[in-house]
Structure 1
Amino acid sequence: MKKIIFSFLIISVIISCKSPEARYPVSQNSGSYINESVARNKKLLAQEESLIKDIIAEDSTTNYIASNGGFWYFYNKKVADSVSTIKPEFGDIVNFDYHIKTLNDQTIYAEGEKPTKEYAIDQENLFSGLRDGLKLMKAGETVTFLFPSYKAFGYYGDKDKIGTNIPIKTTVTLHSIRKQDTIN
């Protein structure tokens, strides 16, 4: 009887010392949702860029400039290079006004509807296109930007007047630039 109990104990010890097995997920995703989303966004971007390029082609009197940031712009009022060569950099405080329209020139936010804004470059929330656009301007200039939706308010809109994936035209007047204090 002792041999049977001893054998049973040895077998129990061997079975209980087995290492744990990895648990595998019940279902596995193939990543198809992400691939579909990428394809949908590429198609949307192509449509918006085509619309902007059509607007530019129809307006032969205006000199549009393509930025490295994925948007287009033109100067309504340009400051001569000899007057001011300073452009805002990280941390500088800029004071500006802007208004927003659709690409079809329907007013979303009228001139004066948005209050004059002070903004610390790259240190506060502002939609990415305007953040990049302000860095291209000098004090006293007025510039009109054409932003595809991903550079404007994107998928979420502004949760007020601008809906999902709306490309916009924004006219910005940069009033002043205060350089960041260099004293540490």
Structure 2
Amino acid sequence: MKNKFIVIIFLLFACHEIVPRRPVNKMKSTFISQSAKLNKNRLLIEQKLFQKVIKLDPKKDFLYSPMGFMYSILEKKENKTKPVKGDLVEIKYKIEDINKNLLYSEEELNNLVFLVDREEIIPALREGVKVLSVGETGIFLFPSYLCYGYQGDFEKIAPNQPLRITIKLLSLTK
């Protein structure tokens, strides 16, 4: 009888629902929201800086890109074919800071050959080449998130540094 009583009590207490476990950390995740806010502020500052740079050079007609950069085509060509994903391109380029101080010359960087949107290069070059035709040269004002971002290149390009990159599209192979 005593054994039956113990079994019945055990069954009564053992047949309840499992309580879901709660996370140990009850703090709200604010890091992501703070990071997003900082990045939005940084972008606004960089866009205002681009506006100042453009006003200093009124002879160039700068256009806005949906990707967030600005550009001006220096040598427009009749050929309207522009690179698309998978095309093989060869470019010559130089990198300057936003105040036209040379960081990397064309000689230091050499010509770059790559497949558009298929190779690991900085987004600035991938996106910038898409607005050029063969033989055209463009001046691009890129926000830091399209260049070397929050790390820089550990040499001449500082973290979160917007850049002025001059790109010439030398060849395009479909």
Indicate the TM-score class for this superposition, using the shorter chain for normalisation. over 0.9
> With structure 2 as the length reference, what TM-score do the two structures score?
0.93
1: distance between equivalents of 2:33 and 2:66?
26
> 1:22 is matched by which residue type in structure 2?
P
**In structure 1, which of residues 107, 113, 116 is the aligned counterpart of residue 108 of structure 2?**
113
1:123 equivalent in alignment to 2:121: no
5+ unaligned residues in a row in structure 2: which ranges? Answer: none
- Bigger drift between 93-102 and 28-37 goes to 28-37
1: distance between equivalents of 2:8 and 2:121?
70
1: distance between equivalents of 2:132 and 2:45?
28
CA shift, 1:78, in A, is 1.7
Which residue in the other structure is 1:25 paired with? 23
Root-mean-square deviation (CA, aligned residues, Å) is 1.4
2: distance between equivalents of 1:11 and 1:5?
10
5+ unaligned residues in a row in structure 1: which ranges? Answer: 180-184
Residue by residue over 1:50-85, the C-alpha shift from the partner in whole angstroms, topping out at 9 and shown as x without a partner, is 001011012111111112221111122221x2xx22
Which residue in the other structure is 2:48 paired with? 50
1: distance between equivalents of 2:173 and 2:113?
10
1:94 equivalent in alignment to 2:92: no
Number of aligned residue pairs: 174
1:168 equivalent in alignment to 2:163: yes
> With structure 1 as the length reference, what TM-score do the two structures score?
0.89
CA shift, 1:27, in A, is 2.0
2: distance between equivalents of 1:166 and 1:115?
22
**In structure 1, which of residues 154, 157, 161 is the aligned counterpart of residue 152 of structure 2?**
157
Which residue in the other structure is 1:36 paired with? 34
CA shift, 1:158, in A, is 2.6
> 2:26 is matched by which residue type in structure 1?
Q
2: distance between equivalents of 1:162 and 1:155?
10
2: distance between equivalents of 1:151 and 1:168?
9
Identity, % of aligned pairs?
A: 33
> 1:49 is matched by which residue type in structure 2?
Q
Q: Please list every run of at least 4 consecutive aligned residues from structure 1 whose deviation after the TM superposition is greater than 4 angstroms.
A: none
CA shift, 1:35, in A, is 1.8
> 2:161 is matched by which residue type in structure 1?
I
3-state SS in 2 of match to 1:139: coil
